[in-house]
Structure 1
Amino acid sequence: MKILKYITFTFFSSLLVVSCGGGSDNENPVDPVVPTVIDPDAASLVFPEDNTECNEGVINTNDETKSTVTFQWSASENTDSYEIKIKNLETGSITTATSTTIQKEVSINRGTPYEWYVISIANGTSSTASSETWTFYNQGQGIENYAPFPAVAISPQRGSTISSANATITLEWSTSDVDDDIVSYEVLFDTTETTVTSLGSTTESSIDVSVSAETTYYWKVITTDSFDNTSTSELFEFRVE
């Protein structure tokens, strides 16, 4: 009986050594499984609507020059949070807000044109996605007619370099007006950032200009409506090879 007990103990001891020994030293370690983070999709803007007057803001009781507007957008896939960018088109200043929902209350100036867009953010990746950019006027006290939105360059694109194959190119822009009463555009075009040379006024949203090779050009557009309200675009620039 002692011999049998000894053999049994030796057998199970051997099993224990084999099971706990970790196998051969030549086996490769297994890499841990790292979950894949999917890049976020772009959100779709809802409110304030594009090229409209926003009249749903709540006037601030401590500062009647401002009102609180609830910005809204649709949920985007693979997104954990959102960053809202709101640009004052008169001053160029940008307000940034964040939200984990699909809306955000932000206090902004009344009687002022703005543009806004939303950036979708996902945890675990540096990739983001941006929505379209919309413009709107935040309603102001006693305003019966709003100035046009500042023009946006279409061609040449801002900061672009173009070929010098042609001595004449076309400057093209776009703009809009809540009241839909734009009557003219004045184009300033120059080789310096002061851009004081006027090409005159036009009712079209494009104009032909003469250019030279190896030169950088600057231009802006002044838009006028039927009430003589005006808006001046940002300074656009391009280079001719």
Structure 2
Amino acid sequence: MRIILKTFALLTLTLSIGCGSSEDNGGSGGENPNKAVLLFPLNNSECTTGSEVSTTQSSVTFEWNAAQNATLYYVYVKNLNTQTQLQFNAESNTSMEINLLKGTPFSWYVVAKAANGTLAESEKWKFYNAGDAVENYIPFPVDLVAPIMSSSVQGPAVDLEWSGNDIDNDIVNYKVYFGTNPNPTTLIGTVTEERLNQVNTTSNTNYYWKVVTTDEAGNYSTSTIFQFKTF
């Protein structure tokens, strides 16, 4: 009987130690953060609530929902005309005022950081910071879909694809410039769809391309230059 009791006590002690050790290890590194949910400025919108700062700038309040386990937030804002991106430290706040140029398209997202150092990136949204007395807005520069930037693709015919957007929803066409020049100037197609199929290439060559978007008012925007290599 004593042997049975000793065995039972030893087994109970072993299980107790094992469970306690597991809990300690699980919590030692902290919890990873969830992604922040963006609230304002709204995606693909004209931002009209900025406060006047000067004739060229207004102050825009960025807002997002708190992310579980996040202790710090970084806000990234990119000027889509110049492709200049700035980083702002919002600390533990879920809103932040940032001075921006008027009449300019921007994109933005939030990175949540947990106490254990891990990061979680939110969706990326676009908006226009409204200018004075604007009746028609310039289309957003298109986003690359395919080929992926700096990727290697099989020729000889390659399909180019992108995603366009405009607040006024009056895009007329897309002009595609393509070639081996890092600043492509050869127009190879003017299309109304967000793709250009069967573009001829040669193997083992670097290609560059960009898209110019035009709306009904004659406004236009130029994308960044995309690059890929054929094999």
TM-score range, shorter-chain basis?
0.7 to 0.9
- Which residue number in structure 2 is paired with residue 201 of structure 1? 190
Q: Distance in 2 between matches of 1:105 and 1:78?
A: 23
Q: What is the root-mean-square deviation in Å for CA atoms of aligned residues?
A: 1.4
Equivalent-residue separation in structure 2 for 1:228 and 1:91 (angstroms): 20
1:94 pairs with one of 78, 85, 88: 85
Gaps of 5+ in 1: 1-29
TM-score by length of 2: 0.85
1:1-241 equivalences in 2 (<5 Å): 35-60=28-53, 63-99=54-90, 100-125=92-117, 127-164=118-155, 167-208=156-197, 209-241=199-231
Deviates more, 1:135-144 or 1:37-46: 37-46
Distance in structure 2 (CA, Å) of the matches to 1:122 and 1:183: 45
List runs of 5+ in structure 2 lacking aligned partners: 1-20
Q: Which entry has the higher C-alpha Rg, 1 or 2?
A: 1
- Offset, 1:158: 1.2
Task: Give the AA of the match of 2:167.
Answer: V
Question: 2-side partners of 1:212 and 1:75: how far apart?
Answer: 50
Q: Identity of counterpart residues, as a percentage?
A: 39
1:149 and 1:112 mapped to 2: Cα distance?
10
The residue type paired with residue 239 of structure 1 is K
1:156-187 Cα deviation digits (max 9, x unpaired): 111111234xx212100001001000000000
When normalised by structure 1's length, the TM-score is 0.82
Deviations 1:24-59 (A, max 9, x none): xxxxxx9xx672222212111111011110000001
- 1:175 is paired with a residue of what secondary structure? strand
Moved over 3 A (4+): none
Q: How much has 1:150 moved relative to structure 2?
A: 0.1
**Offset, 1:223:** 0.1
Output the CA distance in 2 between the equivalents of 1:42 and 1:162: 32
Contact 2:32 2:116 in 1 (8 A): no
CA distance, structure 2, for counterparts of residue 41 and residue 103 of structure 1? 17
